[in-house]
Chains A and B, each alone.
Chain A
Amino acid sequence: MKSERFRVLGTVTRRKDGIGKITGREQYVTDISLPRMLHGRILSSPYAHARIKSIDVSAAEALGAVCITWDDIPKVRYNERIVTVPWALHQDHYVLADKVRRMGEAVAAVAAETEALAEQAVRAIKVEYELLPVITDPVTAMQPGAPAIYDEVLLGDEPVKIERNIACTREIEEGDVDKAFAEADVIIERTYKTPKIYHSQMETKSVVCRPEPDGGITVWPTTQSIHNVRILLGRIFGIPLSKVNVKRVPIGGTFGSSIQMNPPIPIGVALALKARRPVKLTLTREEDMHDHTRYPTQIHLKLAAKRDGTLLGAEMELLADIGAHNIQAYSFLGVTIGWLVSLYRIPNVRYRGTAVYTNKAPSCAMQGFGNPQVTFAVETLMDELAETLGMDPLASKIKNYVGMGDTFWGQGPMVRSVVQSDGVQELLHQGAAWIGWQDRPKSGSQTGRYRRGIGLARGFHTSSAGAPQPGDVIDFSGALVKVNQDGSVDVVTALMDHGGGTLEAVAKLVAEALDMPLEKVDIAPAETMSTVYDVVTHATRGVYAGGGAAVKVAGQIRQEIIDTAARFLNVMPEALTIEYDPEVDQGVVFSRSIPDRRMTIGEIATRCWTNSWKTIAAVDSYRPVNCPPAYVTTFVEVEVDTWTGQVRTLRAALGSDCGTVINPDMAAGQLEGGLSKGMGFALYENNDWDVAGQLLSKGYLVDGKTPAIMEMPKPEDIGVYFAHTCEPSGPFGAKGIGEAATNPVAGAFANAIHNAIGVRFYELPITPEKILAAVRRKTDAVREKGESQAGGEPEKGLVGTGGELQ
């Protein structure tokens, strides 16, 4: 595949890290071994809520293990995710637990010569617990008199009391909501529930830490942000950042679970500092499953519309079960209202969000940060509204969507910008044609065992959290680019690549910007000591913000190459240009009017060296002042087996407006991965807890129901396509893609199932049990009404209540 607009961008190439990954040479954190390295193990709490009365490590120490408990750790309270500015950050966490608030919480840890000895030592530790009542249900947790999971946490540096386990709330209102609802022709409202699913990244969280002779530490962690890990470790352990070096290591998937600093990292550091030897600490799968999940939500959504489908207003109430720690609840409550008002133009909106502690795994961002949850609610309610009004859902989306020129809340109320590129209608029309939208069956019209349906949902994600003014979300990046003595280029960036090809995209952007071949541009290994700050690869910002930084710096390098060549060629810099010359396979600097005065970039770089002059290099930071929407649409066709309740995915059309497509095959991979994860969220996955706070899956991925290969449609039954847009604020017109890919998927499935069997579902996952129960209720209802009416008009109110035309 070759792009018409660009030389490097949009071309399929074999990714630079591909050879290492296919031949088993790629080294992840757990693959790192250092001389004299000890192996760590965590003593995890077997209880979900308990006070630690005593810990006896003498038997473990007798085995030769180094042990740490509450007494050994710095008494610094922190929040493991420092994307929010410090003064708006809730801090409730220590390196080891003062009191156990979830199953699997780290109570103590050991380091020993072998993994087997560490395991033996951790089992030898004796802990006396005082059991406390366990709360797993967020509504129960808010009742007066419910047992307190926290008495007090810090907000910034200030202690704040926690009442009724409510971690924080947010209320936002814009426009005149009461008037909008009073003037509406139709009002529709529903309550939705989404589950607490697990990230299921293939690599569990891990760290290797080496104490250095100067009192510093070198750390190899699983993380999405080497710089934020560094800042946190420096603060907790009281080490100047100049002595904390955090290395970038390839990560085996993350999906948001390592935006925060994962627990093994500070525990591994504490062990290494006490042992004065390198330590490796890796979570078991079960420990990992107790450590992070998507935010489960209960969303009550109410829409007001005119008879022609124009939306007038909305009310949304959201309850988030945040589990045992507040990782980012305040920003979560802010972004979720942003997802609603950025999907559709809703001039009048009232929102109340509540975040509640429970004795379960901490909830955190998971591909979409609340967007899959809210988009599921909005897109199924929009489908139902269109049905109530007798409209084509596609037409109602086109009528109301937030597009070109509209204001868009990228990441909550403080991150607003104006949409400058918009491929929504192209995506909708192309997907509709591919899947046969106009020929879909009439909802609920089918009889027989197997019933097919087509569903549509659209969505978006913000590319970065950039905004014109600084807000409470930190978002900026940086890059260092240098031209080596042979003309090859090093790109030094702290950006993480989670596997989606972010760094490949950065290499391509720099190659394009410098008129160099991709083979001569490489991404340097990164560590905090020799890179400038990048906040974190999250918020679909890797290419847009991290790539934006690299392109900004490459522009400076380009100018320096011209200025340098001007000296060598004795031509005014204004008269010089750079162009890629296929004859010499690199950029050439020349003057159009004096064709014989020309030098390749390689010659210029070599001459800078042999003249004992300089390295052509530049470093800079980059703050995105926009956060453009990466739009997506998902059309799916499903087949529902009304005897077993099973849903088979037959076909899917996945459309993305990511602006300029940089890595076409990897962008397609994001969409297909998004389909798989969205399908899991819609149909299968639920990380259930029992009332004692025990994980029912007991750490088995198959019981959490991570989608496998059998569930995916055939490659030829998936249509992937991209809008022809160019984002003016993005690097060479690019926006993000990653998180957007999953956001609409669950809504598309719910709408497709409704199209097939005429039943709406308001709670995920839509399991076979729920489908069978609904089919049975529907059959019974039809039987009561008499066989003659079966298969007629779509029936409403079978699950929940119907919309009312007023």
Chain B
Amino acid sequence: MQPKVITLKVNGRRHAVASMPNVTLLYALRDLGYTDVKNGCEKGDCGACAVLLNGKAVNSCLVLAWQADGAEIVTNAGLGTLDRPHPLQAAFADTGAIQCGYCTPGMLISAKALLDATPHPSDGEIREALSGNLCRCTGYDHIIEAVQLAAERMGE
């Protein structure tokens, strides 16, 4: 196995990385310091490692880093800033949608992909969009409310 230099554009910053062919995007991102991309299972079960890959929400544990060569990647930390959190992020904090917080970055990414395509989602559309993200703490309902609230605020 030989490494290859690939380019990852993460949250607007370009990184040139020498990466082995068996390295997942999850590991490549975390090695670059994007620890907001959480490792929950490495099997595509839990969605904690979700990122936007060219605008589409993917489980970064199921994507090889080489496959993301040249792609635009957005992690949860890239959605908003501490001073100006993204409306989705703010809504999660305002509705009690966060408890331990470990699933939160992945949830927010899935929700962002949903609102990008469907600004006013129905309850069913929210559930479908978040059906690949597991949360053991909240029972999900505050998360649904958070996405609804964010959609309302963004529509104003």
- List the interface of chain A (C-beta within 8 A of B): 12, 14-15, 17-28, 30-31, 115-116, 199-204, 250-253, 255, 282, 284-285, 498-501, 665-666, 668-669, 671-677, 699-702, 706, 708-710, 712-715, 718
Contact = CB atoms under 8 A, between A and B. Distances in A.
B53 interface: no
B137 A253 contact: yes
A30 B102 CA distance: 11
11 contacts: A22-B80, A22-B85, A30-B39, A203-B38, A499-B99, A673-B137, A673-B138, A675-B139, A700-B45, A701-B134, A710-B127
B131 A701 contact: no
B7 interface: no
Contacts of B130: 709
Contact of B101 (A26, A116, A282, A699): A26
A273 B43 CA distance: 32
B147 to A, nearest CB: 11
A666 B101 CA distance: 13
A742 to B, nearest CB: 10
A284 B140 contact: no
Given A28-B102, A498-B100, A675-B139, A706 B81 contact: no
Given A200-B136, A202-B48, A15 B98 contact: yes
B114 interface: no
B133 interface: yes
B100 A14 contact: no
A116 B127 contact: no
B46 interface: yes
A202 B98 contact: no
Given A22-B89, A200-B134, A714-B123, A669 B41 contact: no
Nearest to B130: A709
Contacts of A284: 42
A251 B137 CA distance: 12
A30 B144 CA distance: 28
B93 A709 contact: no
Contact of A715 (B40, B90, B145): B145
Contacts of A498: 99-100
Nearest to A250: B101
A21 B108 CA distance: 11
B76 interface: yes
Given A672-B142, A709-B143, A677 B136 contact: yes
Given A27-B35, A201-B136, A672 B141 contact: yes
B82 interface: yes
A709 B102 contact: no
B88 to A, nearest CB: 8
B35 A31 contact: yes
Nearest to A499: B100
Nearest to A668: B96
Contacts of A499: 98-101, 137
Nearest to A665: B96
Interface residues of B, number: 55
A251 B100 contact: yes
Contacts of B76: 23-24
Contacts of B143: 709
B38 A702 contact: no
Given A14-B94, A669-B142, A709-B140, A23 B89 contact: yes
Nearest to A675: B139
Name which of B104, B143, B145 has the most chain A CB atoms within 10 A of its CB: B104
B114 to A, nearest CB: 12
Given A25-B36, A673-B139, A665 B95 contact: yes
Contact of A203 (B94, B98, B102): B102
Contact of B98 (A18, A671, A712): A18
B75 interface: yes
Given A22-B90, A24-B105, 5 more contacts: A203-B40, A203-B102, A672-B142, A677-B139, A709-B133
B66 interface: no
Name which of B27, B85, B134, B139 has the most chain A CB atoms within 10 A of its CB: B139
Contacts of A23: 36, 76-77, 79-82, 85, 89
Contact of A116 (B20, B89, B105, B134): B20
B137 A708 contact: no
Given A669-B96, A709-B130, A17 B101 contact: yes
Nearest to B95: A665
Contacts of A668: 96, 142
A501 B99 CA distance: 7
A53 B92 CA distance: 53
Contacts of A673: 99, 136-139
B115 interface: no
B131 A708 contact: yes
A677 B136 CA distance: 7
Ordered nearest first, which 7 A-B pairs have the shortest CB separation? A24-B36, A499-B100, A252-B102, A672-B139, A21-B101, A499-B99, A665-B96
Contacts of B131: 708-710
B134 A500 contact: no
B93 A19 contact: yes
B135 interface: yes
Contacts of A715: 141-142, 144-145
A17 B133 CA distance: 22
Contact of B45 (A17, A669, A671, A701): A701
Contacts of A24: 35-36, 75-77, 105
A706 B139 contact: no
B111 to A, nearest CB: 11
A778 B123 CA distance: 36
B77 A202 contact: no
Interface string B114-156: 0000000001000100110111111111111100000000000
Nearest to A720: B141
A116 B142 CA distance: 39
B103 interface: yes
B36 A669 contact: no
Name which of A21, A204, A713 has the most chain B CB atoms within 10 A of its CB: A21
Nearest to B48: A202
Contacts of A701: 41, 43, 45-46, 134
Nearest to A20: B101
B138 A672 contact: yes
Contacts of A699: 41, 43
B92 A253 contact: no
B101 A252 contact: yes
B152 to A, nearest CB: 14
A252 B45 contact: no
Contact of A19 (B42, B82, B123, B136): B82
Nearest to B129: A709
A252 B100 contact: yes
Contacts of B102: 28, 201-203, 252-253
Contacts of B133: 708-709
Contacts of B40: 202-204, 285
Contacts of A501: 99
Interface in B7-36: 20, 23, 27, 35-36
B16 to A, nearest CB: 19
A104 B102 CA distance: 25
A138 B48 CA distance: 36
A21 B98 contact: yes
Contact of A708 (B27, B93, B134): B134
Contacts of B135: 202, 709
Given A676-B139, A708-B134, A700 B43 contact: yes
A21 B127 contact: no
B100 A250 contact: yes
Contacts of A202: 38, 40, 46, 48, 100, 102-103, 134-136
A22 B127 contact: no
A669 B42 contact: no
Contacts of B38: 28, 202-203, 252
Contacts of A500: 99, 137
Nearest to B76: A24
A702 B40 CA distance: 12
A15 B142 CA distance: 14
